[in-house]
Amino acid sequence: MTCVTALIWVVYLSFFLRSYRRQQRPSILITSGAGKDLDAHCFVTNLGLEPVYLLDVVIDLIEPTGRVVRAVIPERTERWRQAAPGDDDDVRRATTVGALISGGERDLGRFRTLIERASLENPDIATEAAFSSLEVTVILVTASQAELCGASRCYRVEHRPDAHPRLKAMTIKARQLQGYFARRNLTRLLTAQIRSSSAG
């Protein structure tokens, strides 16, 4: 009876820990809407049970040759082209970073606008270039453990002779970037961005 009781408690504890970890694990969606071309909007949604902080947005543009150009674009640079926001302006409109509550959603802007922001950050990016695909990656900080995590989703850009380029998601849902190796890669990405900004 002692062994049976101990086994029951072990199974119960294992189930409890699994459920607890599932609740703590972030779940991020990256979706497109309000169109099917580059004028469609890119949305980020937090489906986890805990809030997260959206720290950075990264866009990778893949050319037909396979060359990848990257830019980190957390700011809405198109909001204030001529001058910095004043003290009376809502500065939150000029950035995509910030907290996302459970079930919260954020509009990152049109995909065309994301590419324009990227071209301002990286001179190797030309807005008129015929990219074959693009990948949007969001980097977040968890509320419970203050660790980096993220999600990414890739879209194919279908160029048509007589129509605007259309976007087609290459996966059903966003790829979750979690765990030790994902955190290490995200840390390297942000560290490289900081060094690049300092050098510039």
Domain locations in the chain?
26-199
pLDDT tens-digit profile of 130-186?
788 889 898 888 877 778 888 999 988 877 776 677 788 888 888 888 888 888 888
Quote the mean pLDDT of the chain: 77
pLDDT tens-digit profile of 23-73?
567 788 888 888 777 788 889 888 888 888 888 888 888 887 778 888 888
Hey, what are 126's tokens?
């030309």
- Strand, coil or helix: 197: helix
* Cα–Cα distance for residue pair 190/195, rounded to 1 Å: 9
Compute CA distances 168 → 38, 120, 132, 148, 150, whole Å.
10, 25, 11, 28, 21
pLDDT attached to residue 67: 80
The closest alpha carbon to 105, from 147, 164, 46, belongs to 46
The residue behind tokens 């693009």 is: 134
